[in-house]
Structure 1
């Protein structure tokens, strides 16, 4: 799945590699605690990625679904020590070129459908 590949690249050693999977005019919205981040192109998404603090977080996808050009994932975010810091759900609408054209993600630090790990591997 494209959205899962995007998260793997985002969490990898070169986070900007994920931009190869999005359209130049990608529209996105991230609903984060207390604020939202949105943009209308790849440069906006690049600025968001570059502005993130350098931490060892990982998006661990626990569930995934695809229906035609729509991909959806649900997972938890963990730090390098395995401690869960929240849950996320994300939806991506793919273009005919199989790139992300529209992207919406929600993150919450305390509510999760599955228990957040206290530490160690998930």
Structure 2
């Protein structure tokens, strides 16, 4: 689809390849995930890995619908599909990247009842 680091990150997460996903992050990555029930903030690869492994076994796909990249910033808007059939909501994510292309800061908003695209 694109050369987006963020799209590659989601693909690795969805495949359960957390080592590959973590390799796309700066070791000191900072993140904020705004979910319907809570906001999860943290830092470091291990902090993000702990969140991902804490979700338990899920069959989930992040389906990018729009991707935009400008210099060291990327944006993705997409659908979250569970078990290959059920769209559980939509996400809008943004990252800033280091000079060597790693994700330095990651922010995502997930909503079960809203999409930027009708």
Question: TM-score over 0.5 for the alignment?
Answer: yes
**Structure 1 residue 16: Cα displacement:** 3.8
**Structure 1 residue 17: Cα displacement:** 2.1
Note if contact 1:33-1:108 (Cα within 8 Å) is conserved in structure 2: yes
Instruction: Give unmatched runs, 5+ long, in structure 1.
Output: 116-122
> In the alignment, does 2:52 pair up with 1:49?
yes
Q: Distance in 1 between matches of 2:17 and 2:104?
A: 21
Q: Distance in 2 between matches of 1:59 and 1:81?
A: 10
Note if contact 1:10-1:16 (Cα within 8 Å) is conserved in structure 2: no
Q: Distance in 2 between matches of 1:100 and 1:81?
A: 27
Note if contact 1:16-1:49 (Cα within 8 Å) is conserved in structure 2: no
* Runs of 4+ off more than 3 Å: none
Partner of 1:40: 43
Q: Distance in 2 between matches of 1:42 and 1:114?
A: 31
Listed as ranges, the matches of 1:1-122 within 5 Å are 1-114=4-117
- Deviation sequence 1:13-48 (CA, Å, 0-9, x none): 423420000000000000001210011211111111
Superposition CA RMSD, Å: 1.2
Q: 1:111 to 1:66 in 2, by over 3 A?
A: same
Q: 1:44 to 1:13 in 2, by over 3 A?
A: closer
Normalising by structure 2, report the TM-score: 0.92
The number of aligned residues is: 115
Q: Distance in 1 between matches of 2:16 and 2:33?
A: 22
Instruction: Give unmatched runs, 5+ long, in structure 2.
Output: none
